[in-house]
Amino acid sequence: MAKWTFPLSLGLWLAAFAGLKFGIRPPIPASVLMIYMMLISVGILVFVAADEKRFRGFLAPLKAVFEGRVSTVVQILVIGAIPLLLAGGVYLRIAPDYDSPFEPRVVHPEPPSQFVFKGQRIDQLTLKNPLREGGDAAKLAKLTNEGKTIYYQNCFYCHGDALAGDGHFSQAFHPIPANFRDVGTISMLQESYVFWRVSTGGPGLPKGATPWNSAMPVWQNILTEEEIWKVILFIYTGSGSTPRTWEEASGGTKH
């Protein structure tokens, strides 16, 4: 089995690369992919070096090539592949980017007066966060903490640990996910608006002003109504924001 250590290690490395590069959607940013592959490479090398027989089997094909114990054709292919791989890596680093130019995020598309949530029509104008009713601070803190758990199970991959729109996958999107710490995002919005955006996601954006760029999933297909409201509690508290009220939006003085 030791004689197959090199091809098995190479096959495992290539399979891991292909799975991370092409098997995950949205795609992993290049910097994150490089970190993962470095960890995988170190893991494979540690496994190989842990056993002397396995390590000798891993080095045997390489020694055979560089000591001239294989055919000239194989030597040429292997030795020629090294500069080609290096040149390819350099080219990928400096190649021009043909992606479309950066376009700024439209933070506040106009919401509909009504939208559908789990088969029921919701009135946007009268919708309020039911978890805030009663004014019990201890209960609200508990619900907010539960929303924190839901956020880190589902949302932080894009919106980030600190809710700043800089999650692991954020750079894969154009534009990047919303930064909740920006005073121009949720601080300007009612909770009912945020509930609409979260629950209906990118597909729920209005058709009249397309194209919209949003990779937001339709979270009502994944989370319950209460879970969405809990997440909304957390993103306001965690970002240091307070929900805007309809009175503020219409020019009143309520805070």
**pLDDT tens-place string over residues 128-140:** 999 999 888 999 9
Tell me the pLDDT band of 153, cut-offs 50, 70 and 90: very high
Q: Identify the pLDDT of residue 249.
A: 53
Tell me the pLDDT band of 40, cut-offs 50, 70 and 90: very high
Q: Identify the pLDDT of residue 144.
A: 95
Higher-confidence residue of 89 and 9: namely: 9
The answer to which of 28-32, 211-215, 230-234 has the lowest mean pLDDT is: 211-215
User: How would DSSP label each residue in the chain?
Assistant: -GGGHHHHHHHHHHHHHHHHHHSSSSPPPHHHHHHHHHHHHHHHHHHHHTSHHHHHHHHHHHHHHHTT-S-HHHHHHHHHHHHHHHHHHHHHHHSPP-SPPP------PPPPSEEEETTEEEETTT---GGGTT--HHHHHHHHHHHHHHHHHHTHHHH-TTSSS--TTGGGSSSPPP-TTSTTTGGGS-HHHHHHHHHHTGGGS-GGGPPP------GGGTS-HHHHHHHHHHHHHHTT-----HHHHTT----
- Residue 237, pLDDT > 90, answer yes
Q: Which residues of 214-252 are buried (b: 16+ CB within 10 A; e: fewer)?
A: bbbbebbeebeeebbbbbbbbbbbbbebebbeeeeeeee
**Domain 114-249, CATH number (from 3.20.20, 1.10.760, 1.10.10, 1.10.8):** 1.10.760
The answer to which of 13-17, 97-101, 111-115 has the lowest mean pLDDT is: 97-101
Question: Averaged over 164-168, what is the pLDDT?
Answer: 90
Q: What is the value of pTM for the model shown?
A: 0.59
- Residue 200, pLDDT > 90, answer yes
Q: Where are the domains of the chain?
A: 2-94, 114-249
Cα–Cα distance, 112 to 125 (Å, whole number): 9
**pLDDT tens-place string over residues 47-77:** 999 989 989 888 888 888 888 888 888 888 8
